Amino acid sequence: MTVVPAQVAGVAEIVVASPADPNGAIDPVLLAAAGVLEIDGLLVAGGAQAIGALAFGLPDEGLAPVDRIVGPGNAWVTAAKIEVSSIVGIDLPAGPSEGMVLADSTADPILVAADLVTQAEHGPDSPAILVTTDRALADVVEAEIDRLLPSLERRAILERALREHGRIVIAPDIDAAIAFVNAYAPEHLSVDVADLEAVVERLDSAGSLFVGPWAPESAGDYATGANHVLPTGGLARSCGPLSVETYGRFSQVQRIDRAGLASIAETIGTLATAEGLTAHRNAVEVRFRASAAQKDAVSTAPDR
């Protein structure tokens, strides 16, 4: 999710950081993926230590400081990324994974419950929120979650996440429901309502949308190709998913000839004067004074 967009963007050197297990071994699936992608370096470290090593480099190991650090992590990783953000680029400060389901009376409560539990499975601090216009649906979903939990392996984590961060929001109508969702700006948003596309068109603040009953969040995690490094904590109101553009470093290039500068010289001079930046105004005027002086010199030169 982080390497492929970097490769598409043309990043010259890519380093992946991943911690070892208690026996000092790296997960073999991750190693295989790194090999297939032909990354340039693998840093066996996690947490704040990995962020520090990437930001400042490890000269003895031949690792130079990187220009950008991307990817999610725990609270220590996020804190470390923020700490080094003044000297190296980062993507976003990632918080706990969060999921929201927007559903009305037409939604299947079994599917809604499954999608909410999916989000809670990420960790005990993961919010899982149902927003619905139908109180009866909310009651059935709650009962279905209770029925589902005993069959799942991470039951303890799920129960804690739902107990501490699970919520059901009853909205008076679909307009109020949409307003709540946009204000919350969830990382993941599943939408299962009658007027599906019309509602989706009005949802403008979510990291990743999963539209309709056949679009579980799991599909985005593993198979659809959508990037799953997403804004959390309301940042979806102003930021989008990790993408090729995340690795962009764009410069402005301005080429101006004499006629072009002459056409905007008055504007420059007026604004520079208004700001009290007369040196800015002079940088334009001096060019034309110099040009005029050169012309005068040529016209008064004696013939030979």
Active-site residues, by number, are 187-188
Structure tokens at 37: 């992608």
Structure tokens at 183: 């204000």
List the beta bridge partners of residue 169.
131
Pairing of strands 128-132, 99-103: parallel
CA distance 5 to 244: 5
CA distance 141 to 209: 20
Q: E-strand spans in the chain?
A: 15-18, 41-44, 68-69, 89-90, 99-103, 128-132, 166-170, 188-192, 208-211
How many Å from the N-terminal Cα to the C-terminal Cα in the chain?
A: 74
Kindly state the helix (H) or strand (E) to which residue 208 belongs, with its residue range.
strand 208-211
**Helix, strand or coil, per DSSP, at residue 68:** strand
CA distance 42 to 197: 43
Structure tokens at 246: 């995340």
3-state SS, one letter per residue, for 7-36: HHHCCCCCEEEECCCCCCCCCHHHHHHHHH
